Structure 1
Amino acid sequence: MTVWRMTRRCAALILGVALLCGGPAFAQRTDLAIGVRLEPPHLDPTAAAAAVIGEITYANLFEGLTRIDREGRVIPGLAESWEVSDDGKVYTFRLRQGVFFHDGSTFDARDAVFTLERAIAPDSINPQKALLEPIEAVEAVDAHTLSVRLKRPTAQLPFILGLPALVIVGHETAETNRAMPNGTGPFRFSRWHMGDRVDLVRNDRYWGEKPALSRVTFRVIGDPSAAYAALMAGNIDAYTNFPAPEHLPQFEADPRFKVVVGRTEGKTVLAQNNARKPLDDIRVRRAIAHAIDRKLLIDGALYGYGDPIGSHFAPQNAGYVDLTGRYPYDPEAARALLREAGAEGLRLKLALPPPSYARRSGEIIAERLRDVGIQVDIVPMEWAQWLTDVFRDKNYDLSIVSHVEPNDLDIYARDDYYFNYDSPEYKALYAELAAEQDEEKRLVLLKSLQQKLTDDAVNGFLFLLPKLGVWDARLQGFWENAPIPANDLTGVRWER
């Protein structure tokens, strides 16, 4: 018998034994390549509003005192438990012991104090700084006990502390997290290949249950056609926010893939600069609202996926009120309001960031606005330019963007937010909501806030961004919905 024949016979015997034993003849995979639409500006979720930072880092590299799970519930994170004083103004958090940052330093109450004091400091650039305004003082009672004293009761504090922007950072390494993130999560940062991918590896010193995945690569693939091609070719294994809904039927017909259509918290709006003439005239804003055809938008830009919204609130949440009928698509009503406002012959610029939902929706809205006499100049922007010109400098007329943070009605109560909406009545209502502990009263206030935004036609409220997930059918554990912008990979695994 030749050596070659002996080798073949041994291989066949080994394969037969494996099949008889019910196991595969190969090792189960522990690597994952996942697509994301955008490259993050950096990797510190406490220092920028870009949702893609949290999509990569939340629950993977960084963790908060609390954590938001796949159902949108608040569960323990680096705080294993907490108590609230009878007056609702003092929260005491019991912190986990035996937790280490990726650089080997120990996590304790000093890091929690540092993180929160840094977030509320006058020079803070934390995107959720406004939500922390009720905090009066933060104190390390001992190494594993944190006290947070509030100016007034704030029932949502545990939820707020579970958002991506409020993850805990080490006091020694906070300033280097943009390029070298150092968290406590189940994965460690490996390398960032600019313009291409971010690599993570399993943190074998993790305090909790170790993830099944040993290596994760986040691949930046923003072009819808390229995303489709990468999945079909096997260059990536998953795309949890797939940007090309027109291709979903092809994936659904292919047994290699699983397609899951869920919901996000992404309230997609036609943002309007309420301080810029003539958009400071409510009649003009209401005219624009009547020129929006939500059904056409959802069918044309999202291929039928997504839910219409009439205010800045997601339909799946308690307290939602359907206000989509407040401004029905009515071109004649829009023209009449423009005539009444003396705004005929209006010309506006529409700034569009890169996501396909924004670019596609922008083309449709521009056409509908032209039908009622508003000339629209479309200005495509990359994210860096959008964040500077629109979000920071408020130098725009109109824009389209999806606000993916949950329960973010607070943004309309901020003095410096890019909508430039200034309503004392709205601010008073929101202050009531923030302090209210009774759930039934909170629901009433939530409805009043939604109605106020719609009545004032602050923005054009378009649709809830769907979560279109496509991944290898052998993968299990991805979130079906997105209660926060995150790709929590702690429960993801390959099935044999």
Structure 2
Amino acid sequence: MNRLPLPIALALALAAAGCGEPRPDDVPVVASAIGGEAEAANPSREPLEFPEAVFLYATAQGLVRFDSNGQIVAGLAERWIVIDEGRSFIFRLRDAEWPDGSEVTAQQVVRALRRATASNSRNPLAPYLEVVDEIVEMTPRVIEVRLRRSRPDLLQLFAQPEMAIVRPQTLGGTGPFRVEEDEQSGVLLRPAIDSERIAEEGYEGPGPAEFVQLHGERAALALARFAARKSDLVLGGTFVDWPLVGAAGIAPANIRFDPALGLFGLAVVEQDGFLAEPENRAAVAMAIDRDAIVQRVLPERTPVTTLLPEQLDSSAAPAVPQWAALTLEERRARARARVSVWRQEAEVDSVRLRVALPEGPGATMLWAHLAADLRSIGIEGERVAMRADADLRLIDAVAPYDSARWFLVTACRLCSEDAELAAEAARDAPTLQNRAQRIAEADALLSAEHVFIPIAQPLRWSIVALRLDAWQRNSRAWHPLDQLRNDSE
């Protein structure tokens, strides 16, 4: 009999014991972000954990931001124009205040953006913002972002949490929330009151229902809190913790899936031995039963064999591997033959590959499938930790913007010089047409090299109380805390 780990079992027992009436509408929204602590962090100095990103997006904003549908809306910039054939973005800032009441200036915004886009920034988006040539203050309320080449997807990058404008000393931002109370178990956020609402006759400030209590915690505790009717929202669910949703007894009406676009598959990170040859890497790709993995581990997702999920900004449809039209049995037969030939040529008794996966019940289920798939073609697999030395490493990431180049760069952990040059040529392309052609070339090269083994699109799930009627599924898998309820807008 399989048993849940003790912390998970205790959390679910707490949930069962606490079941009762649904939470009322006139109390703060209680939200859990899966991961570590929900606290302030500087994205220019260190990559953000998911709860840190949720906290940052709630207390700070960039020039633009995402709405509940994942579309671009105004942030610090009340409006903007694009000129010079897409090489110049001019933003007019709205009136905004820092938490201490001082005015946000264009000079401060320019400095923050320069830090985020600097070549030595640890901001994970910095490599995709190398197209930025300069950022200048035009007037106290207007800034210009000049690009070396046209980039129609720039606003999608600027809307990411990592591009939020914060004061480096305090890490404070301009809202849409302010920290009301920082507690040991979470943080209470109140809406930042703008001048227009203050001017409304009879307005006395935000009501309790407009506040948000944010927790950063493990998935088991977040699900237990929701099942016990003590929270309204769980954000940041991935395949790793998906099995816990069923164990927690969450009602199907509360389970929501995002149509996220990104990468979920195995990157080749060691090309010695068996993985040195493209034909051998193709054998590993052919061995995987994607349908079985999706059915057991990745609900609501579709198996994929291509690096790109769709054409995006490439000049060609996604490159399809030659074996894609074969049945699973035919693929495995070819893969077994390839493994056998290589063993004879290399004069080795066995082939063993180290596969780096995260911890968690969903990852354990994934490993069970991968180990069996590898064994079906004569390869023994060894599961190792994500940061350990490995031959294959799982990538599970949502694309931050709609460009095929993100897929190419993220998947290309160990690709050929030709593929790297093609990806760099796409970055430096003088026109959008030339960029699209270079992207198609790089996609074809990476597909032929089999340096990334696609499995499916990434799984992203949330647990949502019915009273959060403004929550919307979207391809960004991103859900701002100020856009959860229609009656709080």
Using a 3 Å threshold, how does the CA distance of structure 1 residues 437 and 57 change in structure 2: closer, same or farther? farther
Using a 3 Å threshold, how does the CA distance of structure 1 residues 287 and 41 change in structure 2: closer, same or farther? farther
Q: Deviations over 1:456-485 (max 9, x none)?
A: 21211111123333222222222323x335
Structural mapping, 1:204-223, within 5 Å:
204-206=192-194, 213-223=210-220
Do structure 1's residue 132 and structure 2's residue 129 form an aligned pair?
yes
Using a 3 Å threshold, how does the CA distance of structure 1 residues 67 and 53 change in structure 2: closer, same or farther? same
Q: Which deviates further from its counterpart, 360-369 or 284-293? A: 360-369
1:60 is paired with a residue whose SS is helix
Aligned equivalent of 1:68, options 44, 66, 74: 66
Q: Which deviates further from its counterpart, 352-361 or 98-107? A: 352-361
Deviation at 1:433, TM superposition (A): 6.7
| Count, aligned residues | 441
8 Å CA contact 2:189–2:213 kept in 1: the answer is yes
CA distance in 1, matches of 2:67, 2:421: 30
Instruction: Name the structure 2 match of 1:161.
Output: 158
Aligned AA (1:231): F
Q: Deviations over 1:315-373 (max 9, x none)?
A: 59687748488445322222223344446622222222235443321231122112222
Q: Deviations over 1:296-316 (max 9, x none)?
A: 1011223x4312122333459
Deviation at 1:267, TM superposition (A): 2.1
2:92 is paired with a residue whose SS is strand
8 Å CA contact 1:34–1:218 kept in 2: the answer is yes
8 Å CA contact 1:275–1:421 kept in 2: the answer is no
Instruction: Name the structure 1 match of 2:138.
Output: 141
Deviation at 1:63, TM superposition (A): 1.0
Instruction: Name the structure 1 match of 2:394.
Output: 400
CA distance in 2, matches of 1:316, 1:200: 43
8 Å CA contact 2:179–2:187 kept in 1: the answer is yes
Using a 3 Å threshold, how does the CA distance of structure 1 residues 46 and 189 change in structure 2: closer, same or farther? farther
Deviation at 1:286, TM superposition (A): 0.7
Do structure 1's residue 118 and structure 2's residue 115 form an aligned pair?
yes
CA distance in 2, matches of 1:322, 1:89: 30
CA RMSD of aligned residues (A): 3.6
8 Å CA contact 2:268–2:393 kept in 1: the answer is yes
Q: TM-score scaled by structure 1? A: 0.77
- Name stretches of at least 5 consecutive residues in structure 2 with no aligned partner: 1-22, 198-205
Aligned AA (2:484): V
Deviation at 1:146, TM superposition (A): 0.9
Q: Deviations over 1:251-302 (max 9, x none)?
A: 446xxx5333331234211122055544332122111101111111011223
CA distance in 2, matches of 1:259, 1:71: 17
Using a 3 Å threshold, how does the CA distance of structure 1 residues 103 and 421 change in structure 2: closer, same or farther? farther
CA distance in 2, matches of 1:470, 1:444: 41
1:337 is paired with a residue whose SS is helix
Aligned AA (2:301): G
Aligned AA (1:78): L
2:260 is paired with a residue whose SS is strand
Q: Which deviates further from its counterpart, 328-337 or 429-438? A: 429-438
Using a 3 Å threshold, how does the CA distance of structure 1 residues 411 and 201 change in structure 2: closer, same or farther? same
8 Å CA contact 1:310–1:325 kept in 2: the answer is no
8 Å CA contact 1:82–1:94 kept in 2: the answer is yes
1:130 is paired with a residue whose SS is helix
Q: Which deviates further from its counterpart, 283-292 or 57-66? A: 57-66
Instruction: Name the structure 2 match of 1:333.
Output: 334
8 Å CA contact 1:102–1:183 kept in 2: the answer is yes
Instruction: Name the structure 2 match of 1:478.
Output: 471
Aligned AA (1:398): L
8 Å CA contact 2:287–2:377 kept in 1: the answer is yes
Instruction: Name the structure 1 match of 2:93.
Output: 95
Q: TM-score scaled by structure 2? A: 0.78
Deviation at 1:494, TM superposition (A): 8.2
Q: Deviations over 1:163-200 (max 9, x none)?
A: 22222222xxx1553xxxx1112112456667xx5414
Instruction: Name the structure 1 match of 2:381.
Output: 376
8 Å CA contact 2:411–2:451 kept in 1: the answer is no
CA distance in 2, matches of 1:159, 1:332: 44
Instruction: Name the structure 2 match of 1:464.
Output: 457
8 Å CA contact 2:181–2:189 kept in 1: the answer is no
Do structure 1's residue 353 and structure 2's residue 358 form an aligned pair?
yes
Instruction: Name the structure 2 match of 1:152.
Output: 149
Instruction: Name the structure 2 match of 1:16.
Output: none
CA distance in 1, matches of 2:212, 2:431: 43
Do structure 1's residue 280 and structure 2's residue 280 form an aligned pair?
no
Aligned equivalent of 2:289, options 293, 299, 303: 293
CA distance in 1, matches of 2:275, 2:191: 51
Q: Deviations over 1:226-272 (max 9, x none)?
A: 5544322213222244433562995446xxx5333331234211122
Do structure 1's residue 493 and structure 2's residue 482 form an aligned pair?
no
8 Å CA contact 1:30–1:215 kept in 2: the answer is no
8 Å CA contact 1:258–1:473 kept in 2: the answer is yes
Instruction: Name the structure 1 match of 2:227.
Output: 232
CA distance in 2, matches of 1:357, 1:306: 15
CA distance in 1, matches of 2:458, 2:448: 23
8 Å CA contact 1:309–1:315 kept in 2: the answer is no
1:367 is paired with a residue whose SS is helix
1:100 is paired with a residue whose SS is coil
Instruction: Name the structure 2 match of 1:247.
Output: 246
Using a 3 Å threshold, how does the CA distance of structure 1 residues 239 and 51 change in structure 2: closer, same or farther? same
Instruction: Name the structure 2 match of 1:83.
Output: 81
- Name stretches of at least 5 consecutive residues in structure 1 with no aligned partner: 1-25, 381-385
Aligned AA (1:204): A
8 Å CA contact 1:349–1:377 kept in 2: the answer is yes
